[in-house]
Amino acid sequence: MLSKNKIFIDINSKDRKSGTDGNFVYHLDIPNDRRFDHVCLVGATIPKSYYLIPAGGNTFILREDAKEVVIEVPVGNYNRRNFSSVVKGLLNANSPNNWKYDITYPSSLQPDTGKFTYLCTSSPDTSALIMPARSESHLFEQFGFDAGSTNVFSSNKLESRNVVKFSGNDSVFVRSNICMNGSDNVLHGINAVFTESFPNVWRSQDIRKCYQSQALEMLHSL
């Protein structure tokens, strides 16, 4: 429940005292005669400028026989079609034994399983795709495998274990050290699944959940 004794403050990262657009310090100008013990977010607009596959989280390993090569997927945003095309080219270009690879996805006339099928026409079933650990990246989600798994071709074929995922960061969390929200400083989470890349993730004034506040005179980071 919102108090009648309230103040609305517009915070823009470009007016920050220090920091970056995503992690900054901002000064709240609260009148000296006003005291508050709760804070809530009533609206937010956040550019969805982050990539599905970021730098530092964009590598996997191709193993052929006893040979292994680390392959780097270019940083950027992807869908099923361009991801399979790019990874197919990377596998063929980096194959230690010059084996030939292909990646298919069910056509519009087939049942949609949500999974890739990886083909290696030259492999004697000793080829494998090794996924990064969850702590390193989420690239395994685009391939459709488990984190940290080794996935071996059988009869020159390998199917994704899981449905492939091309929606990164399902929620954008607004954090602030001005609130005490149990064990973390999350002021609010905003659903970003249905927002295309590069527009704004936004929520209007239906965000009304309040949290106990620390002293509002302090500088805080959002």
Cα–Cα distance, 3 to 79 (Å, whole number): 46
Segments making up each domain of the chain, as ranges: 18-50+169-221, 59-159
pLDDT at 217: 36
Query: What is the model's pLDDT at position 7?
Result: 76
Q: What is the pLDDT of residue 188?
A: 61
Nearest Cα to 70, choosing from 146, 157, 149, 130? 130
Look up residue 86 and give its two tokens.
């790019």
At 89 the pLDDT is 98
Confidence (pLDDT) at 198? 47
What is the sign, positive or negative, of the torsion defined by CA atoms of 75, 79, 80, 86? negative
pTM: 0.67
Is residue 10 helix, strand or coil? coil
Q: What was the pLDDT predicted at 125?
A: 81
Alpha helices in 72-120 (DSSP H): 80-94
* Tens digit of each residue's pLDDT, the chain (222 residues): 455 677 777 778 778 888 887 777 887 777 777 777 677 777 777 766 678 899 999 999 999 998 999 999 999 999 999 999 999 999 999 999 999 999 999 998 999 999 999 999 886 788 999 999 999 999 999 999 999 999 999 999 999 999 999 876 556 667 777 766 666 666 665 655 545 554 444 454 444 454 455 443 333 333
- What CA–CA distance (Å, rounded) separates 215 from 207? 22
